[in-house]
Amino acid sequence: MSAPHLWLISGVVLAVLGFIAKFITDRIEDTHDINWREFILVMSVFLVIVDPLATHLGWNLGKDNRLLYNRKTSGSELSVSITTTTCTKDGGCYWEYSCDPYQCNPHDCMCDSDGENCSTCYDTCYHDCPYCSHENTYFVQGVVDGDQIVNYVFGDHWLPDNPEASRWVSTWDQWEYEYSRPIPGSIISRAGTGIPLLWQEVQDRVTRNEPGPITSVAGYDNPIYASESTILQRYSGSIDIYQTQGLLPDPTYNFYNFYRVNLASFIGPSDLGPIVWNRQIEYLNSAFSMELRGDLRLVVVTDPVANLNWADYDLALTAYWEDPNLWGDNPISPSTLMVVLHSSDGITIDHVFADTGAPSGNDYLIERLKTQLIGQVLEPSTIVGDVHGTISAGTVIYEHENPGIIEGAVFGLSDPATKFEYVDVNSAFSYLIRDIKPTSKQAVWIVIFTVLFGSIGWVIAYSVGEREWQRGSNFFSQGSRYRRSHW
């Protein structure tokens, strides 16, 4: 469906609504109606000005929405900070209780039977008194994707350590016993006290100048995923077979501890220690994203079914991860480097598959990874690397002293020709954008909003239109309701 089709549909729908409105107003006794002159005027303005503009705007917004997808970005922690809020009565603190009653909202009451000779009554209102003298909010600041600053709140309005020793005190004496009551346990458990443990760990790392990794999400335009043409997308008829057996990991990722993610998947039995593998990949991705806008996803396959036909499994996994119909805004992005390591014994790599989320580019890097990783022992420092960074001048500088195979290849440490290059698919495949259309659901909403906006014209026409006397009409007849009420 094209934009002119939506323009025509909106015009027809508005015209039908206008006929219905005219039919109804012609048959009710009122001084206003919609005459044919007003009907033609409203439809003319709508079809010439409102409908084209609204449809054009909605069409472009729909296209932009379809183009937008998510990609993973990484970086490192930069700094920590604390904001302390000093508490006062009716102030800016969060954890408070009702105190210090006072009269408010004066109103009439106890009136006589005629509603006169009333007294003035008041409601009882309360001030908000804080439990503690101050509350602390704990922040962590990081940098991702080269220069993008990100901020996280690790603890919002936490109470001080030993909050009973930091109670807020008022000079008001009448309700002084309220201040001597212990803070309810439910308040303490909900508020949190002292310093958040995770924030303290970040502070320790930053103090040692050993910042930890951060993973975030950024939006980008991908006309390949948005296009209805599938010529650039991979397809596999084996996806359902592997999926029903639980052999295809999801391309999505769940954050924990604010910005931590697991980026290594293990298919089949193994004793490889996923915690260490994921941690190594997080640190690698910090430098990978900051310096080259890339990110690594690793899959270790020891399952005999998936290892039976390597090529078939690898194609199914890639097609599965690239399908926007399955993952919405979160299929793998062009910045993703996929590495699949097949091992029959869970110790040595028998076969390697590598590719990126872009249709082309980085061919030499991919071939070098395949040849260098085969026969290697599945050990994270050897395969991934051991990347660390140091904070300097508001950013992080990364060191590659003992690079692993993947680290050395993507950064071109031993051969600059293997260095990863980010493919901007929005520029490289911009010719696909002209064929992108809003979804059917978006098209329906474009018509709805356009018609709703145009319907304002019928309201205006009815409001300003004075009913004209017509031969045969009994609207102004002596017995009509309008005549009886006005004469």
Domain boundaries, the chain: 3-68+438-486, 80-207, 222-428
C-alpha–C-alpha distance, residues 74 and 91, integer Å: 38
C-alpha–C-alpha distance, residues 294 and 313, integer Å: 24
What are the Cα distances from residue 306, in Å, to 46, 231, 322?
Answer: 60, 26, 19
C-alpha–C-alpha distance, residues 12 and 291, integer Å: 55
The pLDDT of 214-219, averaged and rounded, is 94
Is residue 262 classed exposed, middle or buried when 0-12, 13-18 and 19+ CB atoms within 10 A define those classes? middle
Which two three-digit tokens encode residue 122? 């008041």
Element (H, E) at 99: strand 96-109
Predicted pLDDT of residue 178 = 54
Contact 338, 380 (CB under 8 A): no
Handedness of CA 298, 323, 367, 76 (dihedral sign): negative
Predicted pLDDT of residue 180 = 61
The letter for the amino acid at 248 is: L
Give percent of the chain with pLDDT exceeding 70.
92
Tell me which of 66-80, 95-109, 210-224, 428-442 is least confident: 428-442
The pLDDT of 85-94, averaged and rounded, is 93
Contact 254, 39 (CB under 8 A): no
Predicted pLDDT of residue 468 = 53
Contact 360, 224 (CB under 8 A): no
Contact 1, 437 (CB under 8 A): yes
Predicted pLDDT of residue 30 = 62
Tell me the average pLDDT of the chain: 88
C-alpha–C-alpha distance, residues 285 and 272, integer Å: 20
Contact 349, 374 (CB under 8 A): yes
Q: Of 432, 81, 387, 396, which is closest to residue 225 (Cα–Cα)?
A: 432
Which two three-digit tokens encode residue 465? 């239109």
Contact 57, 452 (CB under 8 A): no
Beta-bridged to residue 325, according to DSSP, are none
Beta-bridged to residue 102, according to DSSP, are 125
Task: Give the residue with greater pLDDT, 217 vs 476.
Answer: 217
Which two three-digit tokens encode residue 212? 């930890």
The pLDDT of 309-338, averaged and rounded, is 94
pLDDT single digits (tens) 174-204: 455 555 678 999 999 999 999 999 999 999 9
What are the backbone angles phi and psi of residue 481, rounded to the nearest 5°?
A: -65, -40
Max distance between CA atoms of the chain, in angstroms, equals 104
Beta-bridged to residue 153, according to DSSP, are 139
Tell me which of 95-104, 226-235, 238-247, 396-405 is least confident: 226-235
What's the half-sphere exposure (Cβ side, CA atoms, 13 Å) at 363? 3
The pLDDT of 391-410, averaged and rounded, is 93
Q: Of 140, 151, 144, 132, which is closest to residue 196 (Cα–Cα)?
A: 140
C-alpha–C-alpha distance, residues 389 and 419, integer Å: 19
C-alpha–C-alpha distance, residues 211 and 300, integer Å: 28
C-alpha–C-alpha distance, residues 55 and 53, integer Å: 6
Contact 416, 379 (CB under 8 A): no
The pLDDT of 348-362, averaged and rounded, is 94
pLDDT single digits (tens) 254-269: 899 999 999 999 999 8
Tell me which of 109-113, 148-152, 383-387 is least confident: 109-113
> Which pairs with CB-CB distance under 8 Å and at least 24 residues apart come from 42-49?
42/18, 42/454, 42/457, 42/458, 42/460, 42/461, 43/11, 43/14, 43/15, 43/18, 45/457, 46/11, 46/14, 46/454, 46/457, 47/7, 47/11
**Is residue 477 predicted with pLDDT exceeding 50?**
no
Predicted pLDDT of residue 234 = 87
Size (the chain), residues: 487
Q: Of 234, 308, 233, 296, which is closest to residue 267 (Cα–Cα)?
A: 308
Contact 337, 366 (CB under 8 A): no
Contact 104, 83 (CB under 8 A): no
Predicted pLDDT of residue 332 = 93
